[in-house]
Amino acid sequence: MSNILVTGGAGFIGANFVLDWLRQAGADGIVNVDKLTYAGNRESLAEVEGDVRHVFSQIDICDTAAVSCLLKVHRPRAVLHFAAESHVDRSILAPGQFVQTNIVGTFSLLEAVLAYWQGLDMSAREAFRFLHVSTDEVFGSLGPAEPPFSETSRYQPNSPYSASKAASDHMVRAYHHTYGLPVLITNCSNNYGPFQFPEKLIPLTITNALAGKSLPVYGDGLNVRDWLYVGDHCTAIREILARGRAGETYNVGGWNEKTNIEVVHTLCDLLDELKPKAAGSYRDQIAFVRDRPGHDRRYAINASKLAQELGWTPAETFESGLRKTVQWYLHNEAWVQDVLSGEYRNWMSKQYAA
């Protein structure tokens, strides 16, 4: 059986990708490398526990020797790099770990992968791919009338998180141009869906609403994000891995621009329908709070390169994806309760104390 190696496969998008990949007929095996930080959760992988096609390894991507060892043993035909520190607010409070994992970690991983790739025979070298999962945040912030980000938009990262992701993108690109490593880079907009850690807007709103807590909306609530259901992101990555051109970058997005307050209102309305309160609406819990420092006003992705070259378009609308997501959180209370204990409580009191 041939293999692929995934980093960060116990996180939100990585776990969705692993589950989705192994549900496909004739899928390669997966070697799943994850350090299991606060954001990594093996409960998200319960469906593939005991599946011989899935090998989990708790490793830090900064550990080049350990990653090299795994590459040597499992001989993957591709490496998909999801692992990162991913939350903007955490990067504002403590940027150091973002530099370590997103920049040093990506560099360390590239070193291991390059040495492995150079040792392959010619046909395996040609077929090999290193797919780097990045973000639209590297392009900075759009004005209200500006066109969405394209693959040629200028890099203008504004937060420690997006700056660290931008640096990692540049390093991946350099390994292609300098050493010929066959890389693919994806820059995706905001994801939502099952297994997302409730520090991010959508799962935080759902879990706080159900717990009777306030629903914090930063600033005036009019910042815009372009939302994509995580299953659609996984499909896009599979297509790009299979048929994307080495050395290219692909923007991935849902054509779903929404203000934050629209998102929170829609979630409240869905919850009012699916799990009504004894009295009143979940909207009553909304609280406008102090803005995020340096808060990017608007992100939007032009995903037409992906549609034209590879025929990918999202399957879910914002309405269908959000309904599925709310239903998932309502039906997976054990997963939610497990996550809400421990480290999460410390984060919530630190971030929202004021």
Give the catalytic positions in this structure.
Answer: 136-137, 161
Positions in the binding site for ligand NAD (CB under 6 A): 7-8, 10-14, 34-37, 39-40, 60-62, 82-86, 101, 105, 133, 135, 165, 188, 190-191, 197
How many angstroms separate the CA atoms of 142 and 155, rounded? 12
Residue nearest to ligand DAU (CB): 135
Q: Nearest 5°: CA angle at 293, between 268 and 256?
A: 45
Q: Which two tokens stand for residue 44?
A: 């998200």
Q: What is the DSSP string of 93-150?
A: H-THHHIIIIIIIHHHHHHHHHHHHHTS-HHHHHH-EEEEEEEGGGG----TTSPPB-
Closest approach, Cβ 85 to ligand DAU, in A, equals 9
Query: What does the per-residue mask of binding to ligand DAU show for 97-136, with x meaning CB under 6 A?
Result: --------------------------------------xx
Closest approach, Cβ 184 to ligand NAD, in A, equals 14
For ligand DAU, which residue of 42, 75, 170, 200 counts as binding (CB under 6 A)?
200
Residue number with CB closer to ligand NAD (172 or 285): 172
Choose one: 58-66, 173-181, 199-207, 232-240; the region binding ligand DAU (CB under 6 A): 199-207
Q: Name the DSSP class of 305.
A: H
Q: Which residue has the tokens 């709070």?
A: 289
Q: End-to-end CA distance of the chain, in Å?
A: 53
Query: What does the per-residue mask of binding to ligand DAU show for 218-247, with x meaning CB under 6 A?
Result: x----x-x----------------------
Question: Do the beta carbons of residue 57 and residue 31 sit within 8 Å?
Answer: yes
For residue 70, count CB atoms less than 10 angstroms from its CB and return exposed for 0-12, middle for 13-18, buried for 19 or more: buried
In the complex, the residues that contact ligand DAU under the rule CB under 6 A are 86-88, 135-137, 189-190, 200-201, 204, 216-218, 223, 225, 260, 292, 299
